[in-house]
Amino acid sequence: MKIKADGVYVDVTYGGGGHSKAIASLLTTGKVIAFDRDADAIKNSLTTNKNLIVIHSSFSNITTELNSIGISSVDGVLADLGVSSHQFDEPQRGFAFRFDSTLDMRMDVRQQITAATILKTYTAKELQNMFSLYGEVRNAATVAREIVAYRQHSAIATTADLRKCVSHIVPKSDENGFYARLFQALRIEVNQELKELELLLQQLPDLIKAEGRLCVMSYHSLEDRLVKNFIASGNVQGAVEQDVFGNIISKTFTAINKKPIEASEEEKTNNPRSRSARLRVAERIK
């Protein structure tokens, strides 16, 4: 991130605070502004660090929230996308299929829609589209039909209910992978994760100073594709705008690493959750 001691940086995914505190440790008069929409993360953010400010809000509100504290531009933005370890490891949050718990999956418990709400109210077509697009579930249509049929006579309110509903159509050779994709799709829909990411990226050209950096860690191809497109073309669709000489005029960042940075084999061994991590770094064009 090329940290400057007097710079202003934003960690849009505070979580356990590791990244924010690491940045803050390199600052003198600078600031780290951290965002998280999870109340648990905010509770864990109690700190006496004069360089760190934590805001309970979604990162899609980055411009409004920064303006409210008198900040109009920053030297860098860090995003560590997806679900935090705390969220995965808390059974009652409903993010992990290995626990029997309520199908919640809300990152911000102030919102109304939960995973159980979606499974109860979405049409078969809506469920199919969700599982296919966000989870890349191969038999998405079959899964959707089974859910609609099952809920006619039994509620799907817990992770155990969902597993029971679809257990007979789970590929025996890929049981964990199947449930991981199913839960990923639900989680993305509940929290509108791709839309939130898109809204964040759209605001960054006006926030990050020239030569400031954007660092994004993603954990599945859907997120990574949006970030890759944005860096390459200036928009998440990857639609390139060129001038008459063929120069890309819609582009506002230049990639520092052409390919995403991945965890070393040693780190993957010590921290298995890093296996799917992809880090992209880009610098704001002057």
CATH number at residue 249: 3.40.50.150
Same-domain status, 20 and 66: yes
The pLDDT value recorded for residue 272 is: 86
Do 207 and 187 share a structural domain?
no
Classify burial at 207, counting beta carbons within 10 Å of its beta carbon; exposed 0-12, middle 13-18, buried 19 or more. Answer: buried
77 & 158 share domain: no
Alpha helices (H) in the chain, listed in sequence order = 18-24, 39-43, 62-68, 85-89, 115-121, 124-135, 140-150, 159-166, 175-191, 193-203, 221-233, 265-270
Q: What is the CATH number of the domain that holds 111?
A: 1.10.150.170
The set of residues, in sequence order, having a beta carbon less than 8 Å from that of 155 and lying 6+ positions away, is: 120, 161
If asked whether residues 109 and 78 sit together in one domain, one would say no
pLDDT given for residue 240 in this prediction: 82
Enumerate residue ranges in the chain where pLDDT < 50. none
Q: Are 267 and 211 found together in one domain?
A: yes
Q: What angle do CA 194, 188, 18 make, to 5 degrees?
A: 80
Shared domain check, 159 and 115? yes
Q: Which domain holds residue 106?
A: 91-192
Is residue 254 domain-resident?
yes
Same domain flag for 43 and 183: no
Q: Are residues 96 and 80 in the same domain?
A: no
Domain count, the chain: 2
